[in-house]
């Protein structure tokens, strides 16, 4: 049975100003499209304006509305400017999706990891989320209408990933940042939650899927027997962004197809 045209209206996102950082990426762009389909006004923040323009064009052709803003989330001045632009063009943010992030610059043993790479990943994955939460959280508080934040963490934030120390630590920090935001901003009607993807096939992770044998092995390692798509993540993000999750605060939804549950299955038994 096909879905009715207004099936997304149940989310109550119509007219909501939604800021999505890293909006040119796989999860970010899919989230932007879905928010726009649900009637939200989308602000796509990214450094890649060419890609943002393509996504924004798709959104407008489909009848949605939004803007694209060049922003380096690791730079406080850039974030401040982006927040001012969003407020001026669309109004105060009501939803923030902290999605901007980078992966490792190659798999490196902890003892060999460079300080520069450590700083690069933390500055984008963690400090960037902090700066955006401050800037857009201030808009939510001052507008007096509440709001919601959804931060894209990772399974690596709670389960150590070999040779990915800076990435895992940055995502673990993001989980705690979300809890801290929950504790301090709930009094203003602002919620903060995380989604933690497992294996997701996006442009950033595509290098892991160039070998079909590796793709097959990864797929078979997941109890659900498939690799997630950005759509799987976007749908969970929209739920947390909407009032349908109005009493969910300070939580993390692990979206991994059951991958985190296989530990005991790997233990040798008689």
Task: Provide the annotated active-site residues.
Answer: 167
Q: Which segments of 67-114 does DSSP mark as H helices, in order? A: 76-89
Q: Give CA–CA dist 141/87, Å, rounded.
A: 13
Q: Give CA–CA dist 133/181, Å, rounded.
A: 8
Structure tokens at 156: 């690596």
- Indicate the burial class of 268 (C-beta count within 10 angstroms; 0-12, 13-18, 19 or more): exposed
* Cβ-Cβ contacts under 8 Å for 180 (sequence gap 6 or more): none
Pairing of strands 252-255, 65-70: unpaired
Structure tokens at 256: 């991994």
Q: Say what the alpha-carbon torsion angle 7, 13, 17, 22 is, to the nearest 10 degrees.
A: -60
The strand order across the sheet containing 252-255 reads: 65-70, 41-46, 17-21, 95-98, 147-152, 190-197, 252-255
- Indicate the burial class of 7 (C-beta count within 10 angstroms; 0-12, 13-18, 19 or more): exposed
């Amino acid at each position: 049975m096909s879905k009715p045209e207004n099936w997304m209206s149940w989310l109550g996102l119509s007219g909501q100003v939604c800021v999505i950082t890293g909006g040119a990426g796989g999860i970010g762009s899919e989230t932007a499209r879905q928010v726009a389909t649900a009637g939200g006004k989308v602000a796509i923040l990214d450094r890649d304006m060419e890609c943002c323009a393509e996504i924004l064009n798709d959104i407008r052709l489909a009848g949605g509305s939004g803007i694209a803003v060049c922003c380096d989330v690791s730079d406080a001045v850039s974030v401040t400017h982006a927040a001012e632009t969003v407020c001026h063009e669309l109004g105060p943010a009501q939803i923030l999706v902290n999605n901007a992030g980078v992966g490792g610059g190659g798999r490196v043993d902890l003892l060999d990891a460079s300080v520069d790479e450590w700083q690069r990943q933390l500055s984008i994955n963690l400090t960037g989320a902090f700066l955006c939460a401050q800037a857009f959280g201030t808009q939510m508080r001052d507008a007096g209408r509440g709001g919601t934040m959804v931060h894209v963490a990772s399974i690596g934030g709670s389960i150590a990933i070999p040779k990915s120390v800076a990435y895992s630590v940055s995502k673990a920090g993001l989980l705690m940042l979300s809890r801290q935001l929950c504790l301090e901003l709930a009094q203003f009607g602002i919620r903060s939650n995380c989604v933690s993807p497992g294996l997701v096939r996006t442009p950033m992770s595509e290098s892991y899927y160039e070998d079909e044998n590796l793709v097959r092995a990864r797929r078979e390692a997941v109890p659900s027997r498939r690799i997630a798509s950005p759509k799987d993540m976007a749908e969970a993000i929209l739920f947390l962004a909407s009032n349908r999750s109005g009493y969910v605060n300070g939580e993390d939804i692990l979206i991994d197809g059951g991958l985190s549950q296989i530990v005991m299955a790997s233990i040798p038994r008689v």
